Amino acid sequence: MNDAACLFCRIVERKLPADIVAEEEGLLAFKDVNPQAPIHLLIVPTEHVPSVADLTERQTPLIGRAIHFANRLAHRHQLTPAGYRLVINCGPQAGQSVSHLHLHLLGGRPLRWPPG
């Protein structure tokens, strides 16, 4: 069940425009509207899950599949062998601003660590 008030559910349902780069069963990848690197994609489950902390046991395989999807997108965007970063923010103190689970794929420039 998707949430009509959720930004990323609306993107999944094509009710809000987004630069969609790839889709596979249960997952959608689109460009971040405010990119923090030359390549900045968001990978989201098509099913509404508020945060990584809310994943049920049934839903946990989604994360493995999302990482595998991100790895293939990184390869497709020539981010290997230079490298890339995958980030999941969880909750307000970690900077999660959209309450629909998303994996950030960042690359195309040197990325500092720790992020601050």
Q: Binding partner of residue 33 among ligand 5GP, Zn ion, none, CB under 5 to 8 Å per kind? A: ligand 5GP
Strand partners, 31: 41
Q: Which two tokens stand for residue 82?
A: 């230079």
* Nearer CB in complex with ligand 5GP: 81/116: 116
Say which residue the tokens 């790895």 belong to: 71
Q: Which of residues 22-61 bind Zn ion (CB under 5 A)?
A: 48
Among 2, 22, 24, 32, binds ligand 5GP (CB under 6 A): 32
- As a whole number of angstroms, the distance between CA 32 and CA 30 comes to 7
Residue 44 and residue 101 in contact, taking contact as beta carbons nearer than 8 Å: yes
Please name the helix (run of DSSP H) or strand (run of DSSP E) that holds residue 23, with its range, or none.
strand 20-24
The two tokens of residue 42 are 């968001």
Give yes or no for residue 6 binding Zn ion (CB under 5 A): yes
Catalytic residue among 40, 48, 77, 102: 102
Give the residue carrying structure tokens 């992020």.
115
102 is catalytic: yes
Of 27-35, 53-61, 70-78, 107-115, the segment contacting ligand 5GP by CB under 6 A is 27-35
Just list the catalytic residues: 102
Binding residues (CB under 6 A) for ligand 5GP: these are: 7, 18, 30-34, 42, 89, 95-98
